[in-house]
Amino acid sequence: MEIFTTGALLSDYLKKKKNTGKTIGFIPTMGALHDGHLSLLKNAASKTDLVVCSIFVNPTQFTDPKDLENYPRPIEKDIRKLEDSPCDILFLPDVAEMYSKGEVWQIDLGDLDKILEGKIRPGHYQGVTQIVKKLFDIVKPDYAFFGQKDYQQFMVISKMVDILKLDVKLIMCSIIREPDGLAMSSRNIYLSKTERIQALVLSRALIRTKSEFDQYDISELKSNAVNAINIREGIQLEYFEICDGETLMPVSSKQPKSLVALIAARISHTRLIDNIILK
Rounded Cα–Cα distance for residues 7 and 87 (Å): 18
Rounded Cα–Cα distance for residues 233 and 236 (Å): 9
pLDDT score recorded for residue 56:
98
Rounded Cα–Cα distance for residues 195 and 277 (Å): 25
Q: How deeply is 120 buried, as exposed, middle or buried, from its count of CB atoms within 10 A (0-12, 13-18, 19+)?
A: middle
At 166-215, the pLDDT tens digits run: 999 999 999 999 999 999 999 999 999 999 999 999 999 999 999 999 99
Rounded Cα–Cα distance for residues 244 and 155 (Å): 12
Catalytic residue among 34, 37, 124, 269: 37
Determine contact, residues 109/125, Cβ cutoff 8 Å: yes
Annotation marks residue 37 as catalytic: yes
The bridge status of strand 259-267 relative to strand 235-244 is antiparallel
Q: Is the dihedral of CA 249, 250, 252, 254 positive or negative?
A: positive
Task: Give the chain's residues under pLDDT 50.
Answer: none
Average pLDDT of the chain? 97
Rounded Cα–Cα distance for residues 107 and 91 (Å): 25
Rounded Cα–Cα distance for residues 125 and 184 (Å): 21
Q: How deeply is 257 buried, as exposed, middle or buried, from its count of CB atoms within 10 A (0-12, 13-18, 19+)?
A: exposed
Topology of the domain comprising 186-277: Pantoate--beta-alanine Ligase; Chain: A,domain 2 (3.30.1300)
Residues of the chain within CATH 3.30.1300.10 domain(s) are 186-277
CATH of 2-173, one of 3.90.50.10, 1.10.10.10, 3.40.50.620, 1.10.287.3510: 3.40.50.620
